[in-house]
Structure 1
């Protein structure tokens, strides 16, 4: 007589089945843990498959996308000339205005750090 206790944890999932499960887990509002319970998996298995197949999760930041821009004449008035006030070398006076998907506007100077700008845009779009 053979007595088997517990669940068999070593299962083989075909790639097409893994991708179907990953698509289900990527639906907005559905957590990886809920999908894992449905298929009797550990949530870590779904995360491993995501890394393997490079499937983005619904909770991760969306990939950056390019949006249309409009270039306008940004000549500052004479009273805003930094060399007149300080006597020092002028910095670039360009300014960038970014309209986010949710309609909010982000305005930054030309020397703004690109990494901080990305984080700022993500924060504004999720707010």
Structure 2
């Protein structure tokens, strides 16, 4: 060999376009990779990274306990506490 083959750099939007095409219903990952001039294993790696990123971005499951029910009338009659009301009762007035 007399030349050095360099790595091809893919822009993020190119990757996203190819991933979207490979995830369409009825699409073949091999065909998408072949049309783009990409090795099929690279496209599968991008898909794996996408799934890993999606799992990491999801919020973890948090269990919830439901306690005793407070009647709506009691909730409606409870005094409202606002930040302004708290400040006026705890801080001295300034002139």
TM-score range, shorter chain: 0.3 to 0.5
Structure with bigger strand share is 1
Task: Work out which structure has the larger RCO, using CA pairs closer than 8 Å and 6 or more positions apart in sequence.
Answer: 2
Structure with bigger helix share is 2
Return the TM-score normalized by structure 2.
0.47
Structure with higher Rg: it is 2
